[in-house]
Structure 1
Amino acid sequence: MAVFAVVMGVLPFTGVARASTDSSNTASTAPAVSTRQAVPSTAPAEAPVLTQHVLQLIKEHQLVELRTIYNGPFAAAMFFNPSTLNYTVVLLKNHDFWWVGQTADGHKAEMLYTKLATQTIRLSAPDIAKIQLDARIAVARSSLLAQKKREAELEQQISAQQKIMQAGTAAQSQLLSEAQALNSRRQELQRQLDQTNAAIAGLQSKAQEGPSLGDLQTLPSASAPVGTTLQQKPRIQVRATAHP
């Protein structure tokens, strides 16, 4: 049984708790003391006579486990000795006996076991609270580590996005500068083209109009060239002569 296994594990140890009664309480009557007063706060270094006697009976398998209750590290158990018809009630914490009592009255044994079972609830409250608190702390630490890890991942993502945005902004600025330079160049070429077209149009207009009257008046006369004196050639006189 469960308590037998625990008690057998206690046997190699000497640090078991002292029973609430002395060696005279090995009789068949129950100890007339309150369990609240009898339960010590810590386990003494040496086991009393009654505890050693109960351990020996358990080792020899002379006790039958009737009831057992566990609350945290504490346990209350009731044993029965078929050879003597005695009942043994114990209070344990882990592998230590904190309280041991014997009686031949089954009703008193039940009452004593009930009181010890109630004691286990009170005594185990700090241990149970510590177990729960340690679990909450562990969960909180795990959650905090996960949150820090997530924050680090988000910071890396934000940093990467900022680098991408900065690179995109730089590229956009460069493209804008190139576009502005191309636009200025285009405007300059358009201005030069407009000037060239205007010059061509002016030349074509003059070619279609021909020379003006003013230009003709300034030209030298054809009958009297400037700076030229006409010399009259001598007239050739032809006379008719009659031949015989």
Structure 2
Amino acid sequence: MKHPLFIRRAMLLAASFTLLHNGGLALAAQGEEAAPIVGTRPALNTLTPQPVADALREAASASSSSGTTTAEAQGNVAELMQMIQDARLSELRTTYNGSYGASLFFYPREMTYYVALFHDKHFWRVIKSADAGRAEAIYAGFVQQTAQLSEIEIQRTQLQAQKAYIQDVIALSEDRAKRLQADLDVARTQQAKVNDYQRQTQNEAAALREEKERAQAQLRQVQGQVMQLQRQTEMGLPGQR
């Protein structure tokens, strides 16, 4: 009877490793999600266990030879979730770094602390302890872990913002360039018209100048003729010099 029990436990352990591996891939995929913006943090009573934790609990509860009940197999994650739903805990501390977070809860009735690490809307790890100092140390470690995990996420968010900003600047610059080009085209067209007008005006002025000179010459000629005719008309009259 011991061999079947050993085999079942070995199969459970192998399934656990497989699920943990798949869970790691799921966490990597979740890391590609954008960091939450201000005002969109999930309420703690909306958090859920990680899919990996769910699968492990199902695998553990499926083994009838484990000697544990379903509640025990669910572990600290499900226990913490239930206590949050029942409003039996006091939230002492919570820290967010990107989409990662850590919380420290206190259960006054049993003087017990729960330290939780979560990502997005899923609990990741939950540690239960009656030692306040140990709970604070675990919480500090979880906070440091969230800071490390969120570095690439925060960097990606900043790079996305920088890219969007640069694209906006490019769009504004292109629009300004189009406006300047349009103004330049108008200026060139108008300058060409002005140059044509100047040439036309200069030609007309030159022609008028020539006509004026001819008119002046004609006027002098006519005036000379008038004076000559005037003298001829007045010849022989008194006072004629």
Q: How many residues align?
A: 181
Which of 193, 196, 201 is equivalent to 1:175?
Answer: 201
**More off after superposition, 100-109 vs 161-170:** 161-170
Percent identity reads 28
Tell me, yes or no, if the aligned pair for 2:129 and 2:135 is still in contact at 8 Å.
yes
Residue 9, structure 1, aligned to residue 46, structure 2? yes
Which of 14, 18, 35 is equivalent to 2:53?
Answer: 18
Return the offset for 1:89.
Answer: 0.5
Which of 75, 79, 88 is equivalent to 2:105?
Answer: 79
Which of 87, 106, 112 is equivalent to 1:61?
Answer: 87
Could you report, residue by residue, the CA deviation over 1:21-67 in whole angstroms, capped at 9, with x for unpaired residues? 99xxxxxxxxxxxxxxxxxxxxxxxx953211211111111221111
Return the offset for 1:157.
Answer: 1.6
Return the offset for 1:209.
Answer: 11
Listed as ranges, the gaps of 5+ residues in structure 1 are 23-46, 211-244
Residue 103 of structure 1 corresponds to which residue in structure 2?
Answer: 129
TM-score (norm 2): 0.64
Residue 52 of structure 1 corresponds to which residue in structure 2?
Answer: 78
Listed as ranges, the gaps of 5+ residues in structure 2 are 1-38, 58-72, 237-241
1:84 partner SS: coil
Please identify the structure whose Cα radius of gyration is greater: 1
Relative contact order (C-alpha < 8 Å, sep 6+): which is higher? 1
Cα 1:59–1:17, aligned 2, differ >3 Å: closer, same or farther?
A: farther
Return the offset for 1:110.
Answer: 0.8
Tell me, yes or no, if the aligned pair for 1:17 and 1:96 is still in contact at 8 Å.
no
Could you report, residue by residue, the CA deviation over 1:121-164 in whole angstroms, capped at 9, with x for unpaired residues? 11111111111111111211111111111111111222222222
Which of 118, 126, 139 is equivalent to 1:113?
Answer: 139
Cα 1:175–1:77, aligned 2, differ >3 Å: closer, same or farther?
A: same
Which of 102, 114, 137 is equivalent to 2:163?
Answer: 137
2:96 partner SS: strand
Write 1 or 2 for the structure with the bigger share of helix: 2
Q: Distance in 1 between matches of 2:52 and 2:96?
A: 18
Q: CA RMSD in A?
A: 3.2
